[in-house]
Amino acid sequence: MFERLPVPFGLVRYGVAPDHARIKSVSQVFDRVAESDRFQFFGNVTVGQAVSVSRLSAHYSATIIAVGASEGRRLGIEGENLDGVVQASDFVGWYNGHPDRCDLPIALKNCRHVVIVGQGNVACDVARILSVPPQRLASTDIASIALQQLSESAIRDIRMIGRRGPAQLKITPAEMRELCSIEELKVSTNFAEIELNKGSRIELDDPRNESARNVVRLLQRIREVDEATNYKKTLHVDFLQSPVVAQGNGRVETLQLQKNILQGAPFDQRALPTGDTRTVPCDLLVLATGYRALAPPGVPFNMATGFVPNEMGNVLAEDGRPIKGLYVVGWIKRGPVGTIGTTRADSIETVDRMLADFSNGYRFGLNTSAFVHELRQVAITVDWERWRRIDVHERTIGELRGKPREKLTSIVDMLSI
């Protein structure tokens, strides 16, 4: 297993929210795999730089690309480059202590109003991390810098806006329920002001759309919020709104929103602007509008779809023919949708395809030791034992601070262990 960072676990370590410890525990499955003497880990090796995919293919019977989709999707609105406007992909990396993102200039001390664009599970994660009392995150593996900023924050108001309506919300029921059950958080929504159009009612009545129905039921209950409680923060879940322009003097201060209506066939409804606009205060703007993959060097990539063309995980060449021994899994295989569970099923498909290809005649027992020796000449590689030392170090520091671990955020520090 080749990994750009000195440490393993990618999304589980740097994408899954720190308060979702149960999901993070999936890494224990990999720990068991790593115990096999047929497994080798090469951390701190960038494929495409230290070693090419074609070199890997020359030395291994099969190469599986599992690099995911790490970049945020830009909106293309005016003011997107102002300070205080961040991609959720960066923000999530920041609170999770990702070495590339831990220095993100996030200052929450004077930040009262946050707007999150998008209503998917990433937007939901960001809203929850900003909403829960910070002391509740102190016992997670959240990055210390993020915990400090959250503790000092002046956040009172979080607005999570969706360009379409409640029937098209992409947050799943369990995640929505978790967000709505934060006691210190008042959740309000413009749901009551919205008339579900015919298309949305058809969508909600569809037997396959159980998840959307459950979320809408939750939203309907939000209206019964207890006005007497002294809430610390308010979360507005606003539908049929799109950002138009972020304004401010070097740093974002306000966001202009436009009202939308839906048009199109059920399950294919698009947001159309009505021309109605309003401006809301905004000290931090988080764009949680989905992810995009970077083309892996030396692997065919379809810029239009944003993933590697493949047939059940077997990578296809430009002429549409399967490339022997080259496979993909996860978001780089099918685009940035779906949970870890979806990816698990999807990986099984790829591995089944790979095993079927093996039974149709493949080279086995390739000797990789010369290649490994060559690799160690060009890169400081981190093997599993060394990762274990980093792991123990992080856990030890974490224990002193009442956390499961304190992640090292500097690659130099990781390599010094």
Kindly list the residues in this chain that would bind ligand NAP in the complex (CB under 6 A).
75, 117-123, 125, 162-164, 168, 170, 175, 242, 288-291, 336-339
Nearer to ligand NAP by C-beta: 29 or 337? 337
Nearer to ligand NAP by C-beta: 80 or 157? 80
**Min dist. Cβ of residue 49 to ligand NAP (A):** 27
**Min dist. Cβ of residue 75 to ligand NAP (A):** 5
Nearer to ligand NAP by C-beta: 96 or 409? 96
**Min dist. Cβ of residue 69 to ligand NAP (A):** 9
**Min dist. Cβ of residue 234 to ligand NAP (A):** 20
**Min dist. Cβ of residue 378 to ligand NAP (A):** 35
Nearer to ligand NAP by C-beta: 306 or 325? 306
Nearer to ligand NAP by C-beta: 75 or 375? 75
Nearer to ligand NAP by C-beta: 70 or 119? 119
Nearer to ligand NAP by C-beta: 45 or 179? 179
Q: Which residue is nearest to ligand NAP (CB)?
A: 120
**Min dist. Cβ of residue 414 to ligand NAP (A):** 25
Spatial separation of the C-alpha atoms in residues 69 and 44, rounded to whole Å: 19
HEC-encoded secondary structure of the chain? CEECCCCCCHHHHHCCCCCCHHHHCCHHHHHHHHCCCCCCCEECCCECCCECHHHHHHHCCCEEECCCCCEECCCCCECCCCECEEEHHHHHHHHCCCCCCCCCCCCCCCCCEEEEECCCHHHHHHHHHHHCCHHHCCCCCCCHHHHHHHHHCCCCEEEEECCCCHHHCCCCHHHHHHHHCCCCEEEEEHHHHCCCCHHHHHHHHCHHHHHHHHHHHHHHHHCCCCCCCCCCEEEEEECCEEEEEEECCCECCEEEEEEEEEECCCCCCEEEEEEEEEEEECCEEEECCCEECCCCCCCCCECCCCECCEECCEEECCCCCEEEEEEECCHHHHCCCCCHHHHHHHHHHHHHHHHHHHHCCCCCCCCCHHHHHHHHHHCCCECHHHHHHHHHHHHHHHHHCCCCCCCCCCHHHHHCC
Nearer to ligand NAP by C-beta: 45 or 86? 86
